[in-house]
A and B are shown apart, each in its own frame.
Chain A
Amino acid sequence: MFKAEKIGGRNVTASASTSDVKLHSKASEASTPSRYPHRLNFYDRPPVLDITLEEFETCAIDRLRVLAHIESLNHRSLPAPQFSAAVATYVKAHLPLNSNSARSANLEEERRRDEIGHWVLRLAFSRSPDLRARFIRSELSLFRERFTSDDLNERNTFLRSMKFNWEEVGPTEKQELREDLMACMPWGKESKKNDAFNAEKWNKVPWYTVPDLIGSRRVFVKGGMAYVPNSSQISLVLQAYSARLETALELTAKNLPRLDEDERLGPVIDHLASSFLSGLAAGDYQPADGTSGAAVTAEMVDDLARKHFSPCMRNLYERLKRDHHMKHFGRLQLGLFLKGIGLPLEEAVIFWRRMYGSSMTDDKFNKEYRYNIRHSYGQEGKRANYPPKSCQQILTTNQPGTQDSHGCPFRHFSPDNLATFLVSSYPTLDRSSAEMRDILDSVKNSHYHVACTRVFEVTHGLKKGDGLGKDGETVSHPNRYTERSREIEADRLGLVKKDEEEEDVVMAE
């Protein structure tokens, strides 16, 4: 099966089996017909290409990001059009795949990267039934999006090339079943229905190959065969894709133990799987290093905390304010976050000194704490400039102990405490509201980032599914949460100002 072997310096070959002819991507462009005649791909044949280790990783991460995003969108149960719009924008930005007619794009390269990403992720996600199921679900959403957005002609060429053995319903049978077939067509005006019926074509397949259409009674069934109109063809295609993918993943899982020929691939694959498990794509957000943008002063922190802090930071800050004390990991989580939102070192020292207040002598603070603060700004020790912690790190590393207040409230609070905390921190949230139920439901299903996103939506007056207000983005980093919150506020202020200016003009006239 799929195995990767080391050949030479930094090249890694993924090959189907030893008997396969090795295709060099360059050669294939010139002489042989393209490996990727279609935009759509069922990924039936493993790629037999020279891949650099870097490509191996970047292609996979690009795709992983998209899949993770699709998964989080899935969990937010958006209405279908909004969902596909959100997927479309995100896919276009992060994993573009153009149709044959697109001139500007480097089709071969796009499709190559798409394919490599898919195959690497198969390795990463084949290891457990749970991961396999999640991978298939996200891949199906991605495929559906590409299928529906594909050029009609190209799509049909692709379908023909797949040679599905669907049985077409002949004209005689179509007429015989006219009434029944029409009853299953989407409800519309009677007059239009006739034309639609005459123009439509049906395929017969065993009913159990299209469970979604059966469950929703959208097809006519007779003698064990479901009569699927071309307008519902997507169900057939997705079913075929998912069945093949499932079998292939199980096969890969069986062969995975033999993937030990290149010790460089293991860690990459492990990392990919683990970042998907925590519900987030790896390195989705790179926070500013604190030097750019307007500086935040120690005085501003309190106001910012109320308006813009993510729930975890809000919690830490309130604790610190109340207790004038904080354990190590809490200081680290909050300190790095503040650095990320633009609190310079000098201001950080002032901020922490104030927070500790009279609970600590100046002497003790200078001796024990100043060093830590400077250290986290990369001014002491090995002088590493530590980045603020992402949600993934907060969720999965340094689990809080009994005296700790760091971590993620959605994951590390009991449901009751979480509700109390949210209600007291965000006056717009009502304990018995539908939003609160949404949030607590997401928490129960371990979709902490979804819950957090929902809090953001509610507290910023956004619709469900808006996310951070940019193509349904999910919370994946506390600093991103705060950054978006401040941007939204700035936008609204800008609008108000503009309105005022316009009013002024009117007044002047």
Chain B
Amino acid sequence: MAIDMAAAEYDPSSPMVMQAFYRRIFPYRPFFLWLNQDHVPSKLFTHREFAFTLAGDVYLRYNSFANADDFKREVLRLNPSRFEIGPQYTARPRDRKTLAAGALQPIRRELVFDIDMTDYDEIRTCCTDKKICRRCWGYIAAAVKVLDHGLRDTLGFKHLLWVYSGRRGIHCWISDPAALDLNDDQRKALVTFLEVIKGSKEQAKKVNVRGSKDEGDLHPFIKHALKPLGPCFTKLCLRDQECFQSERGYENLLALLPGDQQIIGRLRKKWQQSPDRSSSDKWNDLALEVDALDDKTAIGRKFIKAREDIVLQYTYPRIDAEVSKHRNHLLKSPFCVHPSTGRVCVPINPARIDEFDPETVPTVGELLKQLDNIPTDTDDKTRKGDDYEMTSLKPYVEMFQKHVDAVLRDTKGSRKAAKEESMEF
């Protein structure tokens, strides 16, 4: 009987499973501290919007809670299939009906980024649509490296939390006070600064970052990004994904070259005649053509630049810009369970992004099983700490905890400084 039920029991769409997850595993304490940035409930938590998705696609917006316990109680009562986090508003979102029109305005919010594998469909060859495998995760890994470096070294942020989205993407939450305070215009400017890949399906060349005549130098930020992206391109696009293997693949490549019909014609003919030339061979063919050009001529310079642009187009992060631009955009919370894969949205260490394998992320089913398998004689009394510590979620929660500690240290520091300053007067 128990064995028969096992499969059904751990189905993430089952309310029982989610209830058990929320009761025993979800790390409420660090979660609260992470959003609140203090031990005492502050407006960052109490005025914050939470949106719950319930079974049957019921969507409850504008929830807010007085403290972590209040939040936990409601989560257990509603038993949502997932929930999202919004901004801190000028007032408690749940009071919105009693407020004057327009009085509820978003003010502070972590700076967030969302990268989704669907945006890579045109350049990945292993999977399409909702699928993801270790191989196409390489694109995400490249994106994380560039963004992590950019956000820390270029833009000066410190508290970045990278979170697996549960299926085929990754989120980034930045909790620095300066990030929380950004208004929508500043966020928009930042996104425009970071965004390189633009254009619709019908547009072949999606990298246009050299000014109106398309012949300027790259901005230093993009130029520095090219350094790690070069090897990524060789490893990922040429060797692994074989982006230019198929006819469609190499036609896409030819469409990105400057309009020199002789060179393009030669390459096309060569590749048509020997269809088994690998992507690396084709990239070398192109390199030979470019080397033959004098780099003092206009066309020579154009080709050199075009090659850089191609590397960017195939490896530069493709962020979902709309998510980052507005403070009131909702984003799925870390440690939620993805409703269809059952995987927990766990934090990821960006330094070890290459080793990350989405397939190894614990699912809610595995976690509950691990809890069930604890010998019953270790009674509640002898057990120390939280339930999650006995599951494979433990390292992820610890990573989260460490991140939260760092955030708290910093905000406390700044608060202390502010206090001392105010004492002087």
Contact = CB atoms under 8 A, between A and B. Distances in A.
Contacts of B188: 211, 215
A458 interface: no
B221 A221 contact: yes
B209 interface: yes
Interface stretch (B15-23, B53-61, B152-160, B283-291): B152-160
B186 A211 contact: yes
A125 interface: no
Contact of B219 (A129, A184, A212): A184
B348 interface: no
Given A223-B156, A224-B155, A215 B211 contact: no
Contacts of A220: 219-220
A208 B186 contact: yes
Contacts of B178: 206, 208, 224
A163 interface: no
Contacts of B155: 207, 221, 224
A180 B215 CA distance: 17
Interface centre among A184, A187, A212, A217 (most CB of B within 10 A): A217
A214 B150 CA distance: 13
Interface in A168-211: 179-180, 183-184, 187, 206-208, 211
B185 A221 contact: no
Interface centre among B154, B182, B193, B215 (most CB of A within 10 A): B193
B69 interface: no
Contacts of B211: 187
Interface centre among B217, B219, B223 (most CB of A within 10 A): B219
Nearest to A220: B220
B182 A208 contact: yes
Contacts of B157: 224
A222 B216 contact: no
Interface in A214-270: 214-217, 220-225
A214 B190 contact: yes
Interface string B150-176: 000111110000000000000000000
Nearest to B181: A208
Contacts of A212: 189
A183 B186 contact: no
B220 A215 contact: no
Contacts of A129: 102
Nearest to B222: A217
Interface in B194-228: 209, 211, 215-221, 223
Interface in A309-355: none
A184 B102 CA distance: 41
B272 interface: no
Given A215-B189, A217-B193, A224-B155, A184 B220 contact: yes
B370 interface: no
A217 B221 contact: yes
A216 B189 CA distance: 8
Nearest to A223: B156
A180 B217 CA distance: 10
Contacts of B193: 214-215, 217, 221
B379 to A, nearest CB: 52
Contact of A183 (B156, B190, B223): B223
Contacts of A217: 193, 209, 219, 221
B156 A225 contact: yes
A206 B178 CA distance: 10
A179 B223 CA distance: 11
A225 B154 CA distance: 8
A25 to B, nearest CB: 35
B42 interface: no
Contacts of A225: 156
A136 B85 CA distance: 32
Nearest to B185: A211
B128 interface: no
B192 interface: yes
B153 A222 contact: yes
A111 to B, nearest CB: 31
A187 B178 CA distance: 32
Interface in A76-131: 129
A183 B185 contact: no
7 contacts: A183-B217, A183-B219, A187-B216, A211-B189, A215-B192, A224-B155, A224-B157
Given A187-B215, A214-B190, A221-B193, 4 more contacts: A183-B218, A207-B190, A222-B154, A224-B157
